[in-house]
Amino acid sequence: MVKFDLRFTNPIFTIIAGIIIAFTLMFIPYLGYVIGPLIGGFIAIYYAKEKKIIYSVFVGIGATIVLFIYSESGPINYTDILEYLVVAIFLFILPAIIGGFIGRKIDNSSTGITKTSADNIQTINMREIIKDSVRYPLSYWKSFLIFGIIAVISNILSSVTLLGATNIIIINLLAIIGFLIAFLTKGYIIRIVKSSLIGVAELPEFNNWIDMFKDGIKMFIVGTVYAIPAILLIFAASPSLALGIIFGTNFNGFASLLNSPTGYLSLIAILYMIIVIPILLMAITNMANNNSKLSTAFQLNTIRDKITSIGWKKFITWYLMTGIVLLILTSVGVIILVSLMALIRIVTLHIVGIMIASLILIPYLGMYIYRSVALFYMSE
């Protein structure tokens, strides 16, 4: 009897995951058609048990077919199909193959790394970091739900206009309260990093709320400082949007801003953040490792030396793997969320989407990311 391999390393699963991610990322303005197949091809090869370039070719072809079905609504003639195939070879299939080569190269160079905890020293690799981080958010349901409830309250208060509020004083007051409550979730993230750094395998308890609030303020300061160049670029294009991003109250209009005459500034801001995010994560982890001392988040030489001691190649590999899995988890979460809302016929009720995302999706993704960076920080 032939047994079917149900593990994610089965190429059927990695190819399907690659197609889903490639298609999803294609909607990113300007670079989506290249980045999507590139990452999709990477996933198909990197996570497959056997590293065959043909898997990335299948991703490029699959993404091409899905996009063609999605975008074509009128009559189709042979000329249209021929032109589309020529474009697909260069925009979809070729980037997917390049992504596949990168995935195979990185996988071949990935070696075990050392994880140090308070109790033991053991060898782990990048995949083990990702697997542990994916499981971690569900390790203690009580803390997970408390985190989600706090996030729901914070985000609803920051989005009261969706509930029909029109009084500008009330709207601003509730937005400020929601903004302050969000410091608790940020502080809990710091607690997650601290507990992970000492080898704790489960989510920490919610206690010492004042200290958690203070840590949340520090995390907000660190994130804002590292994002200043991006914020200034967005501010030059749209001051109101920049302020909304800083306070976490308004991300609307970002997509349309990219297509505006000053959209190139926002594109530069996005590229900057893609580069600086892994440094920011290490900075926050370094602060958590030094008893939440704010200045240690800006000790760039120390952070650089820490990354160097682990290895820059491993650092880049970790960032790529964590980011790719994050995109997969986000895509799956959004698909489930939209399907659920459509099922109960509340597609237009945005506040319900905010509540569900704040209760489950956003907490899960945040816990996953910071667990991952803490485990990487411990490696030597």
Query: 160 and 60, same structural domain?
Result: no
Q: What is the pLDDT of residues 198-210, one digit of tens each?
A: 999 999 999 999 9
Query: 128 and 83, same structural domain?
Result: no
Distance CA 231, CA 242 (A): 6
Domains identified in the chain, total number = 2
Evaluate whether 174 touches 202 at the Cβ level (below 8 Å): no
Query: 147 and 60, same structural domain?
Result: no
Amino acid at 28: I
Could you give the C-alpha distances from 164 to 173, 176, 349, 356, in angstroms and in order? 15, 18, 12, 19
Evaluate whether 173 touches 149 at the Cβ level (below 8 Å): no
Query: 245 and 157, same structural domain?
Result: yes
Residue 269 forms part of a structural domain: yes
**pLDDT of 136:** 92
Query: 129 and 99, same structural domain?
Result: no
Spatial CB neighbours of 101, under 8 Å, sequence gap ≥ 6: 45, 53, 56
Residue 246 forms part of a structural domain: yes
Residue 338 forms part of a structural domain: yes
Amino acid at 51: K
DSSP code string of 321-376: HHHHHHHHHHHHHHHHHHHHHHHTT-TT-HHHHHHHIIIIIHHHHHHHHHHHHHHH
Q: What is the pLDDT averaged over residues 259-282?
A: 81
Lowest mean pLDDT among 29-38, 76-85, 166-175: 76-85
How many of the other CB atoms lie within 10 Å of CB of 20? 21
Evaluate whether 93 touches 61 at the Cβ level (below 8 Å): yes
Q: What are the helix (H) ranges across the chain?
A: 11-25, 32-46, 54-71, 78-88, 94-109, 126-135, 141-157, 168-197, 209-226, 228-237, 239-247, 254-258, 263-289, 300-310, 312-343, 350-356, 362-378
Residue 346 forms part of a structural domain: yes
The secondary element (H helix, E strand) that includes residue 116 is strand 113-116
Residue 245 forms part of a structural domain: yes
> Is residue 298 very low, low, confident or very high in pLDDT (cuts 50, 70, 90)?
very high
> Is residue 102 very low, low, confident or very high in pLDDT (cuts 50, 70, 90)?
confident
Residue 89: domain span: 11-109
Domain boundary among 109, 127, 151: 109
Evaluate whether 114 touches 121 at the Cβ level (below 8 Å): yes
Q: What is the pLDDT averaged over residues 12-17?
A: 85
Spatial CB neighbours of 110, under 8 Å, sequence gap ≥ 6: 125, 126, 127, 314, 317
Lowest mean pLDDT among 116-125, 142-151, 278-287: 116-125
- pLDDT at 219 > cutoff 60: yes
Query: 181 and 61, same structural domain?
Result: no
Residue 191 forms part of a structural domain: yes
φ, ψ for residue 9 (rounded to 5)?
-75, -10
Total count of residues recorded for the chain: 380
Distance CA 244, CA 316 (A): 30
Domain boundary among 57, 85, 109: 109
Residue 359 forms part of a structural domain: yes
Q: What is the pLDDT of residues 314-353, one digit of tens each?
A: 898 899 888 888 887 887 777 767 666 665 555 445 666 6
Query: 165 and 89, same structural domain?
Result: no
Query: 123 and 104, same structural domain?
Result: no
- Radius of gyration of the chain from its Cα atoms, rounded to whole angstroms: 22
Query: 286 and 139, same structural domain?
Result: yes
Evaluate whether 181 touches 247 at the Cβ level (below 8 Å): no
Query: 295 and 203, same structural domain?
Result: yes
Query: 127 and 104, same structural domain?
Result: no
DSSP code string of 123-156: EE-HHHHHHHHHHGGGS-HHHHHHHHHHHHHHHH
Spatial CB neighbours of 242, under 8 Å, sequence gap ≥ 6: 231, 232, 234, 235
Buried b (16+ CB within 10 A) or exposed e, 161-191: eeeeeeeeeebeebbeebbebbbbbbbbbbb
How many of the other CB atoms lie within 10 Å of CB of 241? 19
Domain boundary among 50, 77, 109: 109
Q: Two tokens at 127?
A: 């995949």
Residue 4 forms part of a structural domain: no
Q: What is the pLDDT of residues 165-174, one digit of tens each?
A: 667 777 778 8
Query: 140 and 249, same structural domain?
Result: yes
